[in-house]
Amino acid sequence: MGYSVLDYVTIGFLLFGAGLVAHGTIFKNGLGINFRLAECPRCSELPRFFRHPRTLSQAIFGGWTCRGCGCEFDRWGREIATGEKWSSRISQLFRRPK
């Protein structure tokens, strides 16, 4: 029994998606998975284990607001400028961090 074209397309999409997640994890961009708990870049306080996003951006891209100092930071522990626009967050998905 052979494979159909749909099987190859499905496997191709799955491999492409896995490659994007692997790239995001290695280069710490918006598509990666962080296996460690990030800490606040200002006061080094650890966030709660169960996340309660305060903004839509935090809900989609991950991140926390520090209980101690109010700093908003992403899943990698990098500070996010308050009021940062969606377009700049989405354009950072494929950028390497500085």
Look at the alpha carbons of 93, 38, 57, 88 in this order and tell me if their dihedral is positive or negative: negative
pLDDT of the residue at 34? 87
- Note the pLDDT tens digit of each residue in 21-68: 999 899 988 788 888 888 999 999 998 888 888 888 788 878 888 888
Q: How far apart are CA 58 and CA 70, in angstroms?
A: 14
pLDDT at 5: 95
Assessment of whether the complete model's pTM goes beyond 0.85: no
**pLDDT tens per residue across span 57-75:** 788 878 888 888 988 888 8
Q: What is the pLDDT, as a whole number, of residue 95?
A: 62
Q: What token pair was written down for 95?
A: 């950028």
Domain boundaries, the chain: 5-94
